[in-house]
Amino acid sequence: MPAARKAVVRVPKAERDVNRCLPRFHPTVVERPRNKLEAIAAARAAFALCQFDEGACDLGLRRLRAYRKEWDESPGVWKDRPRHDEASQGADAFLTFACSCYEPPSPVPTRKRDFRWVV
C-alpha cells in the first residue's frame, strides 16, 4: 500500500512578500463560483448593497459596465458565456467577492460618556 502523499501548496514569492510587509493582512481563500449565472445573480444582489468611491474605483466600475456576453456571428445569437477580455477580469473579481459571503465588520460601539462627575 503506497504511503499517503501530502498536498503541497506553492505560494508565489510576491504573495509571501505582501504577507511579510502587511502582517495584519489575512487573506481569505474563496472557492471559485461553479455556476457563472448564479454568480452573476449574487453580484447583482451584492452590488445594490455596496458603496463605491467613484474616483478610486473608476477602473473597476468601468470593467463592470463593459462586462458582456460573447456574440456568435455565424448563427447570430448570444453565447452562454461572457466575453473574455479585460472587462471580464474585473467582473470576475467582483463575482468572487459577491459569492464569498463577506460580512463587513461591525462598527466599534462607542462608550457613553459619564457626566456624573461634572459639577
- Using one digit for the tens of pLDDT, what is the confidence trace for 48-79? 888 888 899 899 899 999 988 888 888 889 88
Task: Look at residue 108 and tell me if it is in a domain.
Answer: no
68 within a domain of the structure (yes/no) = yes
Q: What is the pLDDT of residue 1?
A: 47
Residue 36 falls within a domain, yes or no?
yes
Q: Tell me the pLDDT of the chain averaged across its residues.
A: 78
Confidence check: pLDDT of 26 > 80 = no
pLDDT tens for 80-89 read: 878 888 888 8
The angle, 0 to 180 degrees and rounded to 10, between the axes of the packed helices 58-65 and 86-98 is 100
**In this structure, is residue 65 part of a structural domain?**
yes
DSSP 34-62: S-HHHHHHHHHHHHTT----TTTTHHHHH
User: 67 near 88, Cβ under 8 Å?
Assistant: yes
Closest CA to 59 of 23, 27, 90, 24: 90
Whether residue 67 contacts residue 93, with contact meaning beta carbons closer than 8 Å, is answered with: no
Counting the structural domains of the chain, the total is 1
Total residue count of the chain as it appears in this document: 119
Segments forming the whole domain that contains residue 92: 28-98
Looking at the domain assignment, is residue 61 inside a domain? Answer: yes
Higher-pLDDT residue of 107, 54: 54
Residue 86 lies in a domain: yes
Please enumerate in sequence order all residues whose Cβ is within 8 A of that of 90, keeping only pairs 6 or more positions apart, or say none.
59, 60, 62, 63, 64, 67
Q: Has residue 6 been placed in a domain?
A: no
Residue 103, in any domain of the structure = no
